[in-house]
Each structure stands twice: as structure tokens, then as C-alpha cells.
Amino acid sequence: MPSFPPRVSRRLTLAVTAGLVLLAAASLLWPLPDDLLERRAVSSLRVTDRHGDVIQEIRPDGRGISVPLEAIPPEAVAALVATEDRRFYRHPGIDPIAVVRALWQNLRDGRITSGASTITMQVARSLRGASARGWADKLAEMHLALRLEAALTKSDILALWLNRVPFGNQTYGIEAAAQLYFGKPARDLTLHEATFLIGLPQSPSAYDPFRHLERAQARHRQVLAALERSGRLSASERRRLSALPLALQPPTPRFHAPHFVRSLLPDRTDGLAEIRTTLDLALQRVVTEQVRAHLRLLDDASVTNAAVVVLDTSGAVRAYVGSADFWDARHGGQNDGVRMRRQPGSALKPFTYAMALASRRYTAATILPDLETQVLEAGGAFSPQNYDRTYHGPVPLRQALACSYNVPAVHLVRAFGPERLLDLLHRAGFASLDRPAAHYGVGLTLGNGEVQLLELARAYAGLARGGSLPPVTPVRWIRTQAGDTLTVPTEPPRAMGLSPQVAYLITDILSDPEARAPAFGRGGPLELPFPAAVKTGTSKDYRDNWAVGYTPRHVVAVWVGNFDGAPMRWVSGVSGAGPILNGILRPLGSGGPPPLQGKKSANCDPDHIYFGPW
């Protein structure tokens, strides 16, 4: 490397230094990029119900509403300057006094503990989108702050801060924060409210007023003290404001039908603008209130949760309540009771009787034994008992199903074999029954397998449709950010392996209040002012109870119990799930004309039924 005389070396050094200084100065005056100050459009995905009403709006980038500085109370601006940067109007974007103080503290601590950030530097950090706090980031932040001061007015910089910084709960800017926390625009904020909001951006999570109100109030007192030190507030006024209660707007539910939304959202929502679902938000609210109101009545019976799904008989989801309260962590509220696997008790019995009727060896009038019976299974012998601990002797098939007697159902499974019943249940959509038939044995008809509430609703929709199993359809169409509408492919209905005549007979039996009267009496929650097919189920030790009902147009399936599997105290399908079923089916109504018409006969051949009105 060549060596230069000392004089030449000094001149070269001065020239290089001067060039660097000039380059640095020029970089500060270089125009800002055109898109730097533009707030990127906040894209959102709207999940809507069948009428277009919003169920949930998903904003991956948060919520932000930009307003001019004139729409923000002057008190908020004064509080910002007093709290974050009291020499804001006297420095060029970097506060030398604060820099010296921070440098000393950082050298003393051996790490960055104080950043000497001015309001302009905070804006620069927001514009850069950088979260790191290393020395290189700090220098880049300072450089951009100087450029901002050279290109913008102080008012512009204040407006950027007030419109861009995070205020917690995915909210950016004071306008969106005012609407979230106080339910009003920023221009209508009181001095008390405006100064409260200014304190939140220092640490939005730590000062979240919905979760840490005491911390947020302590931070508010710091803002008021800073205003007093600046001379903008008297000591008496500070004390008065510190003592005032905050009129925070209660946090509204974050979205409706949370379990439903979570079940249908794709892994990636990039580029999607709207998912139009089949849900009916008005019905969803009715169902949710029915669940919560009835659970309050069961509070002393060790019952903490319930789930409901409502389908129309085409398979479209009209209501979907996965738990009583999605936000109730104590009782596992985010578990989805519509899709969890639980033992259905007697809710599967209609398919046992459908199997028997389909064989043409049985009719609704066939006499079945309800007598004490010993059953030999792989796990040993057992004697099935009825819910009322009584045997009723010879009973017609119609009464055996309507009253949900256990022994006749076991008799039928023994006659046909659990393999045949399991095959029918698979055809009916019960994919959760994934063990071999030998695993369940004859107990399959009594509900010893685990199924989903959604599977149960779909299978009963198949009965309502005359043996045609519909696909479950939660989504009508999807619209992209580009404006394209995408249809969602669905499977066609498929045969359940039951003729319309057999499905009709099962529906007729489940709709017969006289047939169920010996076990359930008249006038209870299973009886409605219009024809409706209903069935209940209760699992062992009262851990689960179920009620399913359908009309020609709707299917309602209800589960009541505890997500941790704890038993309830003497709560059956009639007293637990039944009243919820009644409260939902009643406003839905009869559902219009039935799919089949004509007259019935209790002991007719399934292939020669003269159909009658439901």
C-alpha cells in the first residue's frame, strides 16, 4: 500500500471527512420516499351470516383510523409532549440532553436501558417497523428522525404519532382507541379520557385497561403529573382528575359464534375478503341465550356446559354453540362441544330400530321382550336395565323405541349382530365410531361408543330427508380481496341404506307423544305444539345427556354436561338437554309441509305405506 507524506495524508483525511459530512448532510435533505408516510390499507376478513351480517371481522394488522390533528383534543397533544418529549419544540428530532443522559445510563448498565427516544424518533421507529433495539437500529432511527424533522412540520410529526402508535388490543391511533375504550370519537374525549389514552402506548400490553386497569390508572397518574410539571395543569386539578372514575366502555364479545368461526377458517386467510356462511345470526343469539338461561337453572346440579348445533335438513348450519361461554377458561369454554366425542346414550337407538324395520322381519307393531336378560360379551356377562329400573314385559316396537327401553334394543342387536348396526351407523355418517364392532358389542345401541354432536344432527337430518344423508354445509361462498367470488364445492347427499318408508316410520314413532307417554308422560319438554320427532340420551353416571329433534325443515341437537367428564347430579336428557331443545324448536316452528304425505298404519309393511301428514 503506498505511503503519503504527512501533509498529503492530512489533506486526504480532511477531504474524506468533509466528503462524509457533506454526504451525511445531503442524506438528511434527501426527499422521503413517497409511500413512507402512507398508512398501509388495513385488510380485513369478514365472516358473515347468511344475510350478510358480520359474525366476526378478522384484522391481522389491527384496527387503525387516521384523523387530522384538528380532530384530536389539544389536551391530548399537550399531554403527549409533556409525557414523552418535553423539549419536542426545541430539538431537531434528537434531544442532545436526553442522548447524553441515556448514554451515561447505558454505559453504566452495560446494555441499552434508556433510549432517549423523542416523539420524532418514536414515529421513525413506527415507520421503519423495526422492533429490535440494538445500536444500529437506534442510529438508523435517529437518522430517519432528522430526515423527518427536515421534511415535515412539528404538527405533521405529532399527527403521525397520534395516528400510528399502538394503544393495545390491536388498536392503532387515538381515534380507534377512543372508539374502543370510550365508545366515542377522539374529538369528543374529555381531558380525563384524553390524558388516560396518552399513557397507554408506552406499554400497550402492560397497560391494557381491560386486563390491567390498576396499572393503566397508575400510568395515567404519571401523565397527569407530567402535565402539572409543564404548567398546563394545577395541583388541585391534577388531584381532581386522579380521583375521577373512568367510564370505560365494557369490552364487547370479541365475536359471535366463536367456535363456528374457528372451525371453518382456513389456515391462511391472505387475500380473502369475506366468507359468507350459512349461519343465521339472529337464531344464533336465541340459541346462545337458551343455553345460558337453562344452565343457570342447573347450577345446583353440577352442570357447567352445553353445546347446540342447528341444521336445516339440507345440511346447512344455522346455529352453532360450542360451549356456554367461549371465554370461560375455568370450565374449558374454548372446547368445542359440537365436535368433541362423547357417549350418546340412547340417542343412537333409532338406528337400531331402523335396521330392524329395514329387514322386513319387524313392523312398528311387532312385540319385543322387555324382560330380564343375561348378555354374554367379551368383557363378561351383564344384564341390561331400563332407565326406570323396571321391566315392562312384552311391548310393541313402537313403544319400545318411543320410551327408549334398553332391553328390547339389546335384543335387536343380538338378533342382527353389532357388525350390521355399526355398518348402518357408518352409512349414517358416524365416522367417530372407528373401532371394530367387537369393541362395542351390543352396547353400541346403548351408546357405549363416542360420537360428535354434529354427526348426530346430520344423521337425524338424514332421517328427516327419508334416508338421504346431507353434507354439512357451513359456507355459501368466499370472496377474495380482488373481488372474485368462489363457490365452495360440496358433496351430494348420499344414501344411508334406509328406504324412505323406514325413515318415515322412525320419524312417525319419534313424533308420537302417546307412544312415549308410559315413560315420559305428557306435556313435558319433549312435547311441542306441532309435530316434531324427538329423542334423548343419557350416558353412564349422568356424564352426558342429549336431545335431538327435527321437523321437515330443521334439526336441533343438544348436549349438556361437563367438559372434564365430571358426572352431573341426576340430570337426564329430558331434564338437561330437553328444555333447551324445546326452547329452540318452538320458535323455529313446524317447518312447513313434510317431505312425505299420506296415511300410516302401525303394523303395515314398510314397502306398502299409505303416507299421511306429519
What distance in Å separates the CA atoms of residue 309 and residue 581, rounded to the nearest whole number? 10
Instruction: Answer yes or no: do 202 and 286 share one domain.
Output: no
Alpha-carbon distance 299 to 301, whole Å? Answer: 6
The answer to whether residue 105 sits within a structural domain is yes
CA distance 52 to 38: 31
443, three cell numbers: 352396547
C-alpha cell at 595: 317431505
Distance of CA 189 to the CA centre of its chain: 32
Check whether residue 526 and residue 388 sit in a common domain.
Answer: yes
Strands (DSSP E) contained in 236-298 are 272-277
Among 364, 396, 386, smallest CA distance to 519 is for 386
Task: Give φ, ψ of 544 to 5 degrees.
Answer: -140, 140
pLDDT tens-digit map of 227-236: 999 999 999 9
Place of cell 388516560: 196
Which residues 6+ apart lie within 8 Å of 451 measured at CB? 341, 342, 344, 348, 430, 432, 433
Q: Would you say residue 350 lies in a domain?
A: yes
Q: How many domains, in total, are found in the chain?
A: 2
**Which CA distances in Å does 413 have to 499, 500, 508, 539?**
20, 22, 22, 19
pLDDT given for residue 137 in this prediction: 67
Q: What is the rounded (10 degree) CA torsion for 598, 603, 605, 611?
A: 10
Under 8 Å CB-to-CB from 93, ≥6 apart: which residues?
A: 118, 120, 121, 142, 145, 146, 148, 149
Within a domain: residue 290?
yes
| Rounded-to-integer distance, Cα 116 and Cα 91, Å | 12
Residue 288 shares a structural domain with residue 154? no
Alpha-carbon dihedral sign for residues 388, 389, 395, 398: positive
Q: pLDDT tens digits, residue range 51-95?
A: 999 898 887 666 777 889 999 999 999 999 999 988 899 888 787
Task: Tell me, yes or no, whether 93 lies in a domain.
Answer: yes
Is residue 286, in this structure, part of any structural domain at all? Answer: yes
User: CB-based contacts of 71: which residues, under 8 Å, 6+ apart?
Assistant: 175, 185, 186, 187
Dist CA 25 CA 23 (whole Å): 5
Yes or no: say if 467 and 495 are a contact pair by the CB < 8 Å rule. Answer: yes
Please identify, among 243, 262, 291, the residue that sits at the C-terminal boundary of a domain.
Answer: 243
Which residues, other chains included, contact 303 with Cβ-Cβ below 8 Å and sequence gap of 6+?
295, 560, 561, 562, 568, 571, 576
Q: Which domain holds residue 322?
A: 281-608
Q: How many Cβ atoms sit within 10 Å of the Cβ of residue 132? A: 10
312 and 223 together in one domain: no
Residue stretches of the chain with pLDDT short of 50 = 1, 15-16, 18-24, 41, 113, 594-613
Residue 32 resides in a domain: no
Tell me, what CATH number does 553's domain have?
3.40.710.10
Residues 426 and 546 reside in one and the same domain: yes
| pTM (predicted TM-score) | 0.71
- Of 592, 396, 582, nearest in space to 505 by CA: 396
Q: Are 467 and 596 in contact (CB under 8 A)?
A: no
Residue 98 lies in a domain: yes
Query: Of the residues 243, 272, 295, which one is the last residue of a structural domain?
Result: 243
Same domain, 235 and 308: no
**Do 532 and 418 lie in a common domain?**
yes
Q: Which residues are marked as active site?
A: 84, 346
Amino acid occupying residue 587: P
Cell of 263: 372451525
DSSP string for 153-200: -HHHHHHHHHHHSEEETTEESHHHHHHHHHSS-GGG--HHHHHHHHTG
In terms of domains, do 225 and 288 share one?
no
Beta carbons within 8 Å of 68's beta carbon, 6+ residues apart: 159
Q: Which helix (H) or strand (E) is 142 found in, with range?
A: helix 135-151
435 and 490 in a common domain:
yes
What integer pLDDT is reported at residue 273 of this predicted model? 87
CATH number assigned to the domain comprising residue 115: 1.10.3810.10
Q: Tell whether 11 is covered by a domain.
A: no
Answer yes or no: do 539 and 597 share one domain: yes
What distance in Å separates the CA atoms of residue 348 and residue 445, rounded to the nearest whole number? 6
| Residues contacting 361, CB < 8 A, separation 6+ | none
- Same-domain status, 503 and 438: yes
Residue 375 and residue 306 share a domain: yes
